[in-house]
């Protein structure tokens, strides 16, 4: 099964991802793109994308990117988010890539872009993540 199709199935199996509306739009070995369409209930008090959801989509994209090289059993152990500018748009696109895939840990980087009505993108946040490889939930 192609990696894109597999990740789309994994994404669809997660109730929270479905609630958020995250879509896996691209996937290759070591890279993944997720799209998050804007909905008003995703906003914080001034109508911008809540930083928690920005972190969520980047963490998910990072995990999916790591899974393309390390297998499906990966678990984020640490991630750091930088909010670079107000996140406002009709959609948000997270692009994650593997920096180093190891047998025990994988390191990823992710950028989050706000997409306006004309399709133009602006970088609004980024994230670095460390994922444990071969981890199964307790």
Domain carrying residue 25: 3-133
Phi–psi pair at 83, nearest 5 degrees = -90, 115
Tell me the per-residue pLDDT of 32-46, one tens digit each, with 9 for 90 and over.
999 999 999 999 999
How many structural domains does the chain have? 1
CA 137 – CA 90 distance, rounded (Å) = 35
Contacts of residue 21, Cβ cutoff 8 Å, sequence gap at least 6: 36, 37, 39
Express each pLDDT in 39-83 by its tens digit: 999 999 999 999 999 999 999 999 999 999 998 889 999 999 999
CATH number at residue 95: 3.10.129.10
Choose among 113, 110, 7: nearest CA to 59. 110
Instruction: Answer whether residue 51 is part of any domain.
Output: yes
């Amino acid at each position: 099964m192609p990696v894109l199709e597999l990740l789309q199935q994994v994404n669809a199996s997660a109730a929270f991802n479905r609630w958020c509306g995250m879509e896996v739009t691209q996937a290759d070995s070591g890279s993944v793109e997720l799209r998050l369409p804007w909905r008003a209930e995703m906003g914080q008090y001034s109508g911008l994308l809540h930083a928690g959801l920005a972190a969520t989509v980047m963490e998910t994209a990072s995990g999916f990117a790591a899974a393309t090289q390390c297998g499906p059993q990966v678990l984020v152990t640490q991630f750091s988010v930088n909010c670079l500018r107000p996140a406002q748009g009709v959609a948000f696109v997270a692009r994650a890539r593997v920096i180093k895939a190891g047998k025990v840990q994988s390191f990823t980087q992710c950028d989050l872009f706000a997409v306006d009505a004309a399709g133009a993108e602006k970088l609004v946040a980024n994230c670095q993540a460390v994922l444990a490889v071969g981890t199964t939930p307790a």
